[in-house]
Structure 1
């Protein structure tokens, strides 16, 4: 993950251009995640090469409201081959079909239309704009709030 997180495109699209992580910090962060009951962090692995290419995460689990937030990131070896769409479908499907979530939401920066298209392809619907949420390279950037509901997921997949 260290090499993936250092990728300039990952840093830009996650809004973490200036974040600095050393290997020990990353080991500590990822080790702690296994013990956090409000999240599920999974690696995205290229089936052909067996290489780690990113991660997909359900987090901020709200048990009472049966909701989570979703995020994903892919390094250079995982882009442009449909892996992001596949990882998103699998993780969202797990959220609705196994965890019985009602709602999964996310934010995507407006300068990342590729990710927004992936989310729309999976079924996420834009709800609104969070204005000027990120200051990056001297420019204010908006974020699109998107969500997908269990009944929408079921309808997309021919389930009652």
Structure 2
């Protein structure tokens, strides 16, 4: 693997992951306007619609990251995104992040989307390590990541200041030697 230029479509039982694009603006706007999404992603402030649209337009052209929309197979609607970014080719590693909007919560879509993109990263792209950070006030996400094979590595203390309180970030990763995950979704 030399980069993330190829943008695949990955299909599971509950979701389809497809390249993120301009057509996903309504879903991303709804997600970013949701107070729970803002909190769980640690997003302070807003960005203009114009900047958001331009960002979405450029996702297909990024060789150093893979941005895929999460499409709920039951409704056919995009409900979030999964991203592999911060690619380090020398160490065959990258970062993972996910965003699920209100329409996609509590149905296992995020867990399946996570497993699909991690499987793609390890099995098809040859990644050795995929890491992430999850805020301590989001145990639901931590459980979903553990179901997908991620293991807690440590804690970044007081990484986020939210609503007058400091919040730790929990660092997790999955290694190619731990994949595939045998635990049930």
TM-score range, shorter chain: over 0.9
Where do 4+ consecutive residues of structure 1 move more than 4 Å?
none
Alignment partners' CA distance in 1, 2:60 and 2:159: 29
Deviations 1:126-149 (A, max 9, x none): 000000000011100000000000
Q: Which residue of 2 aligns with 1:2?
A: 29
Q: 1:122 aligns with which of 148, 168, 184?
A: 148
* Residues 91-130 of structure 1 aligned to structure 2 (within 5 Å): 91-130=117-156
Alignment partners' CA distance in 2, 1:48 and 1:109: 30
Structure with larger RCO (C-alpha < 8 A, sep 6+): 2
Q: 1:13 aligns with which of 31, 40, 48?
A: 40
Deviations 1:20-39 (A, max 9, x none): 12221111112222222110
Alignment partners' CA distance in 1, 2:45 and 2:93: 28
- TM-score, normalization by structure 1: 0.94
Unmatched 5+ stretches in structure 1: none
RMSD: 0.9
* Residues 1-160 of structure 1 aligned to structure 2 (within 5 Å): 1-16=28-43, 18-154=44-180, 156=181
